[in-house]
């Protein structure tokens, strides 16, 4: 599988930077996978139990 490429593409709606939404695209034709990752300490603390 050497040479296969995976692209990670950030998604941001127009005018809203740093949303934390990403798309993973596979070179071998598999469907894209989407995920959300946020490293903003202010937002992260809102979900702490």
User: How confident is the model at residue 14, as a pLDDT?
Assistant: 76
Compute the half-sphere exposure of residue 9: CA atoms within 13 Å on the CB side of its CA.
12
pLDDT digits (tens, 9 = 90+) for 7-42: 988 877 777 777 778 889 999 989 999 887 766 666
Alpha carbon 14 to its chain centroid, in Å, reads 16
User: How confident is the model at residue 26, as a pLDDT?
Assistant: 92
41 dihedral zone (left: phi>0; alpha: psi -120 to 50; beta) = alpha
pTM score of the predicted model: 0.56
* 34 or 49, higher pLDDT: 34
Element housing 43 (H / E): helix 41-44
User: How confident is the model at residue 31, as a pLDDT?
Assistant: 94
């Amino acid at each position: 599988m050497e040479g296969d490429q995976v692209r990670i593409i950030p998604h941001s709606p127009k005018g809203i930077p740093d949303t934390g939404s990403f798309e993973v695209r596979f070179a071998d034709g598999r469907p894209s996978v989407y995920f959300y990752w946020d490293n903003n300490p202010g937002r992260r603390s809102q979900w702490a139990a």
